[in-house]
Amino acid sequence: MINQNIKNIHNSEQRLSYIIDITLRSRTLILMNNNYLTSVNTNQTARDLLYNQTIEELRSSATLLKVAQTDLSLKTSTLSVDQLQMINPSNVKMKYLKYPSMPDFYTFSVWEAIMEIVVSAYRVSTLPLKSIMDDHSTVYFIMQNCLNSVMQALKSSTDAILNESDNNRQSNMQVFLYVLIAASASIFFSLLFLIPVINKVKKNKQEVLELFTHRNIEKHIDDQLKTCRNFISMRLQPSSENMGGNGEDIDGQDGVNANGQPGGKNMNNANG
């Protein structure tokens, strides 16, 4: 939308440039026909070169004016009737060479007036140089209207396009502001819903930490540790004593004396 508004403004302002250029090229041809351009009057080659260049530039300006107006008409066709009336007013009075029983002025819209100028510029570009004079009907139409009524109408049309672009920009800014407010409100309400959850998690975490730091818990852990130690000492000590007694019996029964003879009580009884 913003890019299109910028393009519309550019096309509208370019119409002014093309209108001025058409007027200047037409005036140059009139001066050449009246031999007012002394710098090229004595040099036919320079005269022909200037004539051809001027005709080419006149046609180019007419083509560019037509393209700019066509593009602008298409891009603004979706606007409301009131907006189109400001951009394309229908009160442009254009003056024609007076003929018997014919009015001097005709009223057009801006777009119609521009197309009339485009057609007239193409006609001038096809005329021989000797026919391009102020009293020629087509040349007269261009010289009387381009820098007068049409120029004023184009300025008003451009101002209307600028105002429309400003209105669109303000509307877009309001929409963006509403979206920003809605997003901020959503984030705020989300935080409101999250705060109780965060507090609950924090509270549970604190309770868990208190379990490990409470004095009763420490005492209970110490008691359990003593119980485990007592259990281990009671279970392992008898086992150690049994293993020690069995070892002495085995040594007394099956032991061997220092002389390498079997020892024990049975051997002593036998000797007695």
What is the distance between the alpha carbons of residues 22 and 143, in angstroms, rounded to a whole number? 9
pLDDT tens string 141-155: 999 998 888 888 888
Listed as ranges, residues in the chain with pLDDT below 50 are: 247-272
Residue 147 pairs with which residues in a beta bridge? none
State the pLDDT at residue 57.
94
State the pLDDT at residue 211.
64
pLDDT tens string 156-194: 888 888 887 777 777 778 888 888 888 888 888 887 877
Distance of CA 141 to the CA centre of its chain: 47
Kindly report the pTM of this predicted structure: 0.61
State the pLDDT at residue 271.
40
**Can you give the residue ranges of every domain in the chain?**
2-176
State the pLDDT at residue 59.
95
What is the distance between the alpha carbons of residues 124 and 84, in angstroms, rounded to a whole number? 31
What is the distance between the alpha carbons of residues 159 and 155, in angstroms, rounded to a whole number? 6
Handedness of CA 18, 16, 74, 168 (dihedral sign): positive
Query: Which residues touch 145 (CB under 8 Å, ≥6 apart)?
Result: 94, 95, 113, 117
Q: Tell the residue number behind the tokens 């001025």, with chain if given.
A: 20
